[in-house]
Amino acid sequence: MRIFSEAPADNASLRRSLYQGDVFALGPTTASEALVADVRELLERTLESRDIRHAPSALDPLELFARMGRLRKTLYMEPRFHAHARAVIAAAGFDPDHVAFDPLRLRIISHLGHENPRAAPVYYPHRDTWYAHPQSIVTWWIPLDDLREEETFVFYPEAFDRPVANDSEIFDYDAWVARGWSLKIGWQDPEAGRTARYPRALEPSKVDEGVGFSCRRAQNLLFAGAHYHQTRPQALGTTRYSLDFRVVDLRDEAAGLGAPNTDNRSRGSALADYTHPAHGGT
């Protein structure tokens, strides 16, 4: 696996390269910087502090969860953040008229968060496709700060095209969203990490053996959602924030293009609930 800092000029070539397992760490765009600035401002208001990387540790964990939950819901649902996502997608050369996207999620990786049983699923090694996403998904990841390698996540490139033992067959998209999108966005139930079943690997992995990366604020990291990856636990005394969303080029999906499926047995499809192009795509 290579991590490229430049995308091919032609978007179809970029998508093909992503489906083959290449990863692209592209520079910030005006659109991604505007998104990050807006989200940081929301975080400052939510945390009542300009020091968003330290402020969470001063709050009661359930209070923090409630505040962040409201913010997560805003990012996922509000039209202005859908517009931000569209702008970010277009700025990287994707055609918004043919791309459906699953809106923005905010990820919050706390200092010693891995010791909190409620947060356990955050650290499961996984493929995003195990959550009933199509094989053509591209995951888009944007950090809110410059981040060191120790506080991002790792890829296991050797697992891209070989099966990993997993229980993705437990994941049924329709059951997951049957009671609204609370589980999907992670905004309502602080116990979900303990009580809901998230698909997970059934074989060990060593985060130190993965391929990591450092990054700059508002960079656009793109990878196939079929990549096997894992968030790093961190004890650096600060909170790490990132945004992510998923995109599908509907022409590729219709043509059966995408990353290989080695082991994904999740049921149903998240694609119908993506935000689709106004004219229906394809």
Residue numbers at the binding site for Fe ion (CB under 5 A): 128
Residue 174 structure tokens: 């329709």
Q: Find the helix or strand (DSSP H, E) in which 98 lies.
A: none
CB atoms within 10 A of CB 6: 10
Q: What's the CA gap between 104 and 13, in Å, rounded?
A: 25
Nearest to 265 by CA among 159, 168, 137: 168
In sequence order, which residues have a C-beta less than 8 Å from that of residue 206 and are 6 or more positions away? none
102 or 128: whose CB is closer to Fe ion?
Answer: 128
Does an H or E element contain 51, and which? Answer: none
Judged by CB, which is closer to Fe ion: 128, or 253?
A: 128
Write down the least CB distance from residue 14 to Fe ion, Å: 20
* Cβ at position 225, least distance to Fe ion in Å: 7
Q: Which one, 50 or 206, has the nearer CB to Fe ion?
A: 206
- Based on CB atoms, which residue is closest to Fe ion, 187 or 281? 187
Do 14 and 8 contact (CB within 8 A), yes or no?
Answer: yes
Shortest spacing between CB 127 and Fe ion, in angstroms:
7
Question: 47 vs 241, which CB is nearer to Fe ion?
Answer: 241
| Distance, CA of 247 to CA of 99 (rounded, Å) | 6
Whether 151 contacts 240, CB under 8 Å: yes
Pairing of strands 138-143, 220-224: antiparallel
**Residue least distant from Fe ion (Cβ):** 128
Q: For the CB of residue 267, give the shortest distance to Fe ion in the complex, in Å.
A: 19
CA distance 231 to 226: 15
Residues 123/153, Cβ–Cβ less than 8 Å: no
Please state the closest distance from residue 109 (CB atom) to Fe ion, in A. 12
- Report in angstroms how near the CB of residue 211 gets to Fe ion at its nearest: 15
In terms of CB distance, is 82 or 107 closer to Fe ion?
107
Question: Which one, 81 or 155, has the nearer CB to Fe ion?
Answer: 155
Q: Compute the least distance from the CB of residue 227 to Fe ion, in Å.
A: 8
Contact between 77 and 275 under an 8 Å Cβ cutoff? The reply is no
